Structures are given as structure tokens and as C-alpha cells.
Amino acid sequence: MPSPLLNIIQSFQPGRIFGYTDLTAAGLNQKALSTELRKLILRKRIVRLLKGRYMITDPSQKEQKPEEIIRAICLFRNKICGYETGPSIWEKWQFIPKTENRNIFYVAINNMRPAQNHNGITIRFRKARLDPANYNHNVLQLLDSIEAFNSITQLENGAYVIGKILEMITGQNAAFHQQLANYALAYRPATRAFTGALLQHAGIEENLSLLHTSLNHLSVYKLRIDYSTLPEAKNWNIVP
């Protein structure tokens, strides 16, 4: 007969991430609960993602997917504490060519921690510019990409990347554009300048004064930008 603990776990959908607080109805103390969970891991009924976080296995899947590990890190006890960023996002947005069998991923969080390895998947952490719990992740991911432009252009043509970023900006509404300008204030001056040039090129003028006034107009920002692709870069003291 299945144990009360297993009954609770089997009521979860495959892929559901859970912790000790989800299992209190089993009536086990911490030590007994940990022992039973270890047994279920050995029986491959569940997998341990992180300390105190587990997932019921999907019989059709032989191993954990990177997105499941990232979800476990970024969402715990219904609290958002991080978001995916870096090269895997650049690939998703077609800024760079796709890497087959990618095994290194980046997560932006408030409080830095050492890299983690989960069955061959490495998660590295970056300091979030703004609290992931309170801000639009799509905007933050785009600003992270704008900030990493020089790194991206080591892998792909700069004009192409600027074109893709402009497509993303022009495809969004006014609220997104305002968030992009507002959030950029938490980033480095070069990122603010580049964001301003992109918005200006896209004809989105409403929020440019925020970015202009945040910059030291004696400063110069060196980015791998061709003026023929983004002529507005000159207005923001960006030099190739």
C-alpha cells in the first residue's frame, strides 16, 4: 500500500517542483521525511533538484531538462527569485547560432552564489540589476543582452544583432518602451547610452530625456557599433 507521503507526491503533476512545506500532510518529522525522500530518489520516483527542492519524475523523460532546473532555482515557494539570462537567451532570440546540447546556463539573482552542477547541467549566477520578483523579466533579459553586446558580437555580426534587437523593441507596446528606459537607469552608463540610441533609431522619443540626463556627456562609450547601422550612436557618445 502506498505511503501517505507517496500518495501526496503522486497527486502532483509530472514536472511539479515541491519542498518540505508541500508534504506536511504526511505527518512526518524532518528526519523521517528526508529518509523517505531519499528512498524515493533511489527508486527514481522523484529527483532532487536543489537542497530541499524535489520534482516528481515524468516516466517519458530519462533526465532532467535544463528549464526544469532553472525553474526550480528561479521559483520557490511561489516566490520569484531569479530569471534566465545570457547565451541561452541570445540563442532563443536568434542573436547567435544555437549550440547543440548546451550544458551551461546563467541565472540572474539578487544574492550571488557559487555555480551549481546538476547531473551535467551547470548553472552560473549573475547579479541582477533589479529585483527579479518585481520587474518584467523580458525587459531585464533584453537589457542584459544590450549590456553584453560586445560579447555577443564576438559570436555574430553586430549589424545583424542590432537589427534583431530593434525588431524586438519595435514589436513591443509603449509600456514596454517606458520600462526599457526606466530599467536601463539601473545599468552601466554604456548600456544606458546604447539603449537610448536604439530607442531613438526606432523613433521612440518619449523616454529619451531620462537616459540623456543620467549620463555624463563628457564620457565616451566604446562599443562594436557601425555608424551606418546605428547613426544615432553618435548622439550618445558611442564610438566604434
Among 37, 62, 87, which residue terminates a domain? 62
What is the C-alpha separation between 146 and 223, in angstroms, rounded? Answer: 10
Least confident of 67-71, 128-132, 157-161, 220-224: 67-71
45 and 127 part of one domain = no
48 and 80 part of one domain = no
53 and 118 part of one domain = no
pLDDT of residue 141: 98
Query: Which is more confident, 10 or 107?
Result: 107
pLDDT of residue 211: 96
Q: How many domains does the chain have?
A: 2
231 and 127 part of one domain = yes
120 and 105 part of one domain = yes
17 and 122 part of one domain = no
Residue-by-residue DSSP string for the chain: ---HHHHHHHTSPTT-EEEGGGGGGG---HHHHHHHHHHHHHTTSEEEEETTEEEEPPTT-SS--HHHHHHHHHEETTEE-EEEESHHHHHHTTSSPPPTT--EEEEEESS----EEETTEEEEEEE-SS-TTTS-HHHHHHHHHHHTHHHHTTTS-HHHHHHHHHHHHHTS-HHHHHHHHHHHTTS-HHHHHHHHHHHHHTT--TTHHHHHHTS-TT--EE-S--TTT-GGGGGGTEE-
**What is the pTM for the complete model shown?**
0.82
113 and 224 part of one domain = yes
What is the C-alpha separation between 197 and 211, in angstroms, rounded? Answer: 10
The mean pLDDT value for 30-41 works out to 87
User: Which residues constitute the domain of residue 56?
Assistant: 4-62
Q: How confident is the model at residue 63 (pLDDT cuts 50, 70, 90)?
A: low
Query: Which is more confident, 29 or 90?
Result: 90
The mean pLDDT value for 204-221 works out to 94
Least confident of 22-31, 48-57, 103-112, 182-191: 48-57
Is pLDDT above 80 for 13? no
45 and 138 part of one domain = no
pLDDT of residue 196: 98
Is pLDDT above 60 for 62? no
Helices 189-201, 158-170: crossing angle, 10 deg rounding = 70
pLDDT of residue 65: 81
pLDDT of residue 61: 59
43 and 75 part of one domain = no
Whether the CB-CB separation of 217 and 237 falls below 8 Å is answered with yes
Among 43, 62, 81, which residue terminates a domain? 62
pLDDT of residue 75: 80
16 and 124 part of one domain = no
- The CATH number of residue 23's host domain is 1.10.10
186 and 204 part of one domain = yes
Among 14, 33, 62, which residue terminates a domain? 62
The mean pLDDT value for 145-174 works out to 95
234 and 130 part of one domain = yes
The mean pLDDT value for 117-142 works out to 93
